[in-house]
């Protein structure tokens, strides 16, 4: 099979042996694979794949068709449309995934949307509801609202009845992001617009001081992105006075049991909304596998709304 491959700090396309499904696993013909910040970090040598995942093939989310099943796998039949978060290896023509991590693709989603869906919606749902305990009527702040996780979080928060505010650095994207249901502001204005019950931190350490200042009593800060820095001083007295919580999260390295649990929650609470079209997967651009380096360059350039997706068939936008 052909696959994106990390070589000397760059991503190229190389041939690799076809994977074989083991017990409980499915072999998936990948049709589309979303690109995420973790892939950029992996190519740069700053975020290695977890144990058991391909070390040189990036890609954390896939959508495709089941080709075959390993011993004991029975949930999905050959030819069914599926999608999943994977530890790595997603940007390839074939991928092996345990059936418990797989989710059905709603009929109304095209391959590009499906390929850009699993990681961002699973990450957003887990951070907002399982960990952040967001409830109806609470005030949610999403930093980095124009990205894949940001647009997912805005939509999920809105459908949960939260009051959603989002920071977007690019002024040209603010009106488009607002259409997902958020009050969109410039990053430098978020403290004055508080307080917030839940803050989803997708940018990094530079926001931590302001996050604490604008956090409501008993508020929660969920840190799931550090692209703008990972270290910052913290005033514990402010956190204590507000009886607040700060927690961090990564999905990629979790054991199968935990990933399967997240997949079932997304399947139960998010897929019906995707299927009904009440929430969407915005795709900024698609690139065929042969142009995977261009996809990474487009992601790194910023200024996008939604997902960059690598496809395994025809060139996209």
Q: Which residue has the tokens 């302001």?
A: 210
164: phi then psi, degrees, rounded to nearest 5: -105, 130
pLDDT tens across the length of the chain (317 residues)? 999 999 999 999 999 999 999 999 999 999 999 999 999 999 999 889 998 899 999 999 999 999 999 999 999 999 999 999 999 999 999 999 999 999 999 999 999 999 999 999 999 999 999 999 999 999 999 999 999 999 999 999 999 999 999 999 999 999 999 999 999 999 999 999 999 999 999 998 999 999 999 999 999 999 998 878 889 999 999 999 999 999 998 888 899 999 999 999 999 999 999 999 999 999 999 999 999 999 999 999 988 999 999 999 754 34
HSE-up of residue 279 (Cα within 13 Å, Cβ side) = 28
User: Which of 25, 40, 253, 71 has its CA nearest to residue 147?
Assistant: 40
Q: What is the CATH number of domain 120-248?
A: 3.40.50.720
Q: What is the CATH number of domain 2-117+252-311?
A: 3.90.180.10
pLDDT of residue 249: 86
Contacts of 216 (CB under 8 A, 6+ apart): 139, 194, 195, 196, 197, 242
CA distance 5 to 295: 13
CA distance 158 to 166: 12
Q: Would you list the domain boundaries of the chain?
A: 2-117+252-311, 120-248
pLDDT of residue 317: 40
């Amino acid at each position: 099979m052909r696959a994106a491959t990390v070589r000397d700090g760059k991503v190229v396309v190389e041939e690799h042996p076809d994977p074989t499904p083991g017990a409980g696993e499915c072999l998936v013909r990948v049709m589309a694979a979303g690109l995420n910040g973790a892939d950029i970090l992996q190519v740069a040598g700053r975020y290695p794949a977890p144990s058991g995942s391909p070390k040189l093939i990036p890609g954390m989310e896939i959508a495709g068709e089941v080709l075959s099943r390993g011993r004991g796998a029975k949930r999905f039949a050959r030819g069914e449309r599926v999608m999943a978060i994977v530890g790595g290896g997603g940007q390839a023509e074939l991928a092996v995934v345990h059936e418990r991590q797989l989710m059905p693709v709603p009929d109304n989603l095209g391959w590009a949307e499906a390929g850009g869906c699993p990681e961002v919606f699973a990450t957003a749902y887990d951070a907002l509801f399982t960990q952040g305990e967001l409830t109806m009527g609470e005030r949610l702040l999403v930093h980095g609202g124009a990205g894949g996780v940001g647009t997912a979080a805005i939509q999920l928060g809105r459908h949960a009845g939260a009051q959603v505010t989002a920071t977007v650095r690019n002024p040209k994207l603010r009106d488009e992001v607002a259409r997902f249901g958020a009050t969109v502001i410039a990053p430098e204005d978020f403290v004055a617009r508080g307080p917030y019950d839940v803050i989803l931190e997708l940018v990094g350490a530079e926001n931590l001081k302001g996050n604490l200042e604008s956090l409501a009593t008993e508020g929660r800060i969920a840190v799931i992105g550090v692209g703008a820095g990972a270290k910052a001083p913290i005033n514990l007295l402010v956190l204590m006075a507000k009886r607040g919580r700060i927690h961090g999260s990564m999905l990629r390295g979790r054991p199968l049991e935990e990933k399967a649990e997240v997949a079932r929650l997304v399947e139960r609470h998010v897929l019906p909304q995707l299927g009904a079209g009440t929430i969407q997967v915005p795709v900024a651009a698609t690139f065929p596998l042969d142009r995977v380096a261009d996809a990474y360059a487009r992601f790194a350039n910023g200024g996008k709304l939604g997902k960059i997706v690598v496809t395994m068939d025809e060139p996209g936008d």
